[in-house]
């Protein structure tokens, strides 16, 4: 049957020209869209490497200076920092609380803020950008962040008190390995600051739709917190993990109860407890307003629109093509072809046209890849990636063509031979 299909395609090459051109354009466009969708799905499937179970966020607000009960601290005083730390110790003393962690705003998952720094690596004399995360040791235990080797968060909490920590992408970019204990990174400013790397975390992400970035973790020491002003302290991100099996109601209800219970204990100086949120609720609120979420929805909508248009275009072309050949089908039925044989012939012919068209289409796609028009942020452009995308594209179009040919060929094949001969 294969040789017979090839002869039919050759015989009808003039009428098939527009089919070939249409499939060529559709294949290239769909191939590019499939590659984008595959990279997006891979990104979303990558783990966050944070654990949000039993994690809550505490928000402290600062009383405005116009308030009658506002406390004016002396200039240069550490009273604001001392009030703040008393609140943190009250939080740590709660029987439900397992550990408390703090960080600046740009160091938390699901946040719009960011803070970056340029680091210099003497080995290759290159500058590299990385996010700067200023955190307390408890941060790693709250979010259960592990080392790149799989060790516990306690290892990281201890290591950050001896030097800096870097994320796995930063380690691979700078040193080509996660075994970097004792290596140095430099910041070249007015004076040269040297940082000794004491550990490597797993590749943590800031949110689902982005790749794990290069991160440098630095310890936020208590003496630094004590020197902060109240406005800066008011922007501090505070999270805590509750002990296992202490939450009787739903997590969100527990947050409300905890806030009500601790309202007076978590207040001091000009600070007061504004909110307690279950961290998955923080994630939900962030994703509801994130531009990345909107971008992903737009990308899905565009790809869906493209797929629908491809579906309609290919369906229409092959539907018309099969219906136009009813006279040929009538003759074949009259000389003894079975209904199943006719359907197999028409479907096989459509798939063969697709396969032939795929050859020049893939040449165009390979040139698109070599021209650097494919993103390599998620995955390098390798033969395996190109092969996977090509097979998926061929499979999608093969399914559409099969559906487009099956129904009209099914109807045509079930005509009675005498009626089918009228088409001739």
Task: Give the separation between CA 276 and CA 254, rounded to whole angstroms.
Answer: 9
297 within domain boundaries: yes
219 within domain boundaries: yes
285 within domain boundaries: yes
Count Cα neighbours of 347 within 13 Å in the Cβ-side half-sphere: 18
Q: Are residues 190 and 168 in the same domain?
A: yes
232 within domain boundaries: yes
Q: Are residues 157 and 240 in the same domain?
A: yes
> What mean pLDDT do residues 75-82 have?
89
Q: Are residues 306 and 170 in the same domain?
A: no
**CA neighbor of 199 nearest in space, from 232, 153, 230, 243:** 153
Q: Are residues 115 and 91 in the same domain?
A: yes
pLDDT over threshold 90, residue 140: yes
50 within domain boundaries: no
Q: Which of 243, 267, 289 is the last residue of a domain?
A: 289
| pLDDT score of 406 | 79
378 within domain boundaries: yes
> What mean pLDDT do residues 87-91 have?
96
Q: Are residues 180 and 266 in the same domain?
A: yes
Task: Give the separation between CA 384 and CA 341, rounded to whole angstroms.
Answer: 36
Q: Which of 289, 312, 331 is the last residue of a domain?
A: 289
Tens of pLDDT, residues 379-423: 899 999 999 999 999 999 999 888 878 777 666 666 655 555 555
> Structural domain of residue 160, as residue ranges?
55-289
Tens of pLDDT, residues 95-130: 999 999 999 989 999 998 889 999 988 777 788 899
For the chain, the distance separating the N- and C-terminal CA atoms, rounded to the nearest angstrom, is 23
Global pTM?
0.83
| pLDDT score of 339 | 66
Q: Which of 9-23, 53-67, 81-95, 328-342 has the lowest mean pLDDT?
A: 328-342
Task: Give the separation between CA 224 and CA 220, rounded to whole angstroms.
Answer: 7
CB atoms within 10 A of CB 382: 11
279, 48 contact by CB (below 8 A): no
Q: Are residues 111 and 189 in the same domain?
A: yes
Residue 292 tokens, joined: 């990345």
Q: Are residues 167 and 217 in the same domain?
A: yes
Q: Which of 240, 259, 289 is the last residue of a domain?
A: 289
Q: Are residues 126 and 26 in the same domain?
A: no
> What mean pLDDT do residues 186-198 have?
79
* b/e per residue 186-196 (b: at least 16 CB within 10 A): eeeeeeeeebe
Beta bridge partners of 187: 193
Number of domains in the chain: 2
Q: Are residues 89 and 31 in the same domain?
A: no
Task: Give the separation between CA 345 and CA 410, rounded to whole angstroms.
Answer: 12
pLDDT over threshold 80, residue 334: no
**CA neighbor of 243 nearest in space, from 143, 101, 97, 138:** 97
Task: Give the separation between CA 235 and CA 238, rounded to whole angstroms.
Answer: 9
> What mean pLDDT do residues 222-247 have?
90
Tens of pLDDT, residues 278-298: 999 999 999 888 887 788 888
pLDDT-derived band of residue 141, with 50, 70 and 90 as boundaries? very high
Q: Are residues 187 and 255 in the same domain?
A: yes
Task: Give the separation between CA 53 and CA 318, rounded to whole angstroms.
Answer: 53
Q: Are residues 64 and 101 in the same domain?
A: yes
Q: Are residues 214 and 362 in the same domain?
A: no
392 within domain boundaries: yes
Residue 127 tokens, joined: 């500058």
R_g (Cα) of the chain, nearest Å = 32
Phi and psi for 129 in degrees, rounded to 5?
-90, 145
62 within domain boundaries: yes
């Amino acid at each position: 049957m294969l040789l017979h299909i090839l002869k039919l395609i050759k015989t009808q090459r003039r009428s098939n020209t527009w089919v070939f051109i249409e499939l060529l354009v559709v294949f290239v466009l769909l191939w590019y869209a499939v590659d984008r969708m595959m990279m997006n799905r891979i990104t979303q499937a990558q783990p966050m490497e944070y654990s949000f179970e039993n994690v809550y966020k505490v928000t402290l607000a600062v009383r405005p200076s116009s308030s009658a009960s506002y406390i004016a601290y002396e200039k240069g005083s550490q009273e604001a920092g001392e009030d703040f730390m008393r609140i943190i110790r009250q939080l740590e003393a709660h029987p439900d609380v397992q550990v408390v962690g703090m960080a600046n705003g740009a160091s938390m998952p699901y946040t719009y803020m960011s803070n970056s720094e340029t680091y210099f690596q003497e080995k290759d004399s290159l500058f590299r950008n990385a996010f700067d995360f200023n955190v307390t040791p408890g941060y790693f235990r709250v979010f259960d962040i592990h080392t790149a080797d799989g060790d516990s968060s306690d290892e990281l909490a201890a290591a950050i008190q001896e030097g800096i920590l870097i994320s796995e992408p930063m380690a691979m970019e700078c040193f080509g390995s996660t075994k970097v204990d004792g290596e140095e990174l430099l910041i070249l400013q007015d004076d040269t600051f040297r940082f000794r790397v004491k550990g490597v975390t797993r590749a943590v992400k800031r949110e689902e739709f982005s790749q794990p970035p290069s991160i440098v973790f630095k310890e936020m020491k208590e003496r630094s917190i004590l020197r902060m002003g109240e406005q800066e302290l008011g922007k501090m991100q505070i999270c805590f993990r509750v002990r296992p099996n202490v939450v009787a109601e739903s997590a969100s209800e527990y947050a409300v109860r905890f806030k009500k219970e601790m309202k007076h204990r978590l207040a001091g100086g000009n600070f007061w407890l504004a909110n307690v949120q279950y961290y998955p609720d923080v994630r939900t609120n962030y994703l509801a307003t994130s531009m990345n979420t909107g971008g992903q929805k737009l990308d899905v909508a565009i790809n869906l629109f493209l797929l629908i248009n491809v579906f309609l275009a290919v369906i229409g072309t092959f539907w018309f093509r099969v219906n136009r050949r009813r006279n040929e089908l009538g003759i074949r039925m009259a000389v003894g072809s079975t209904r199943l044989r006719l359907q197999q012939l028409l479907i096989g012919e459509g798939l063969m046209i697709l396969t032939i068209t795929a050859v020049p289409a893939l040449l165009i796609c390979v040139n698109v890849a070599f021209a650097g028009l494919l993103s390599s942020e998620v995955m390098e452009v390798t033969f395996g990636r190109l092969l996977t995308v090509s097979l998926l594209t061929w499979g999608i179009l093969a399914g559409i063509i099969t559906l487009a040919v099956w129904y009209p060929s099914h109807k045509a094949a079930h005509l009675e031979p005498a009626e089918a001969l009228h088409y001739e």
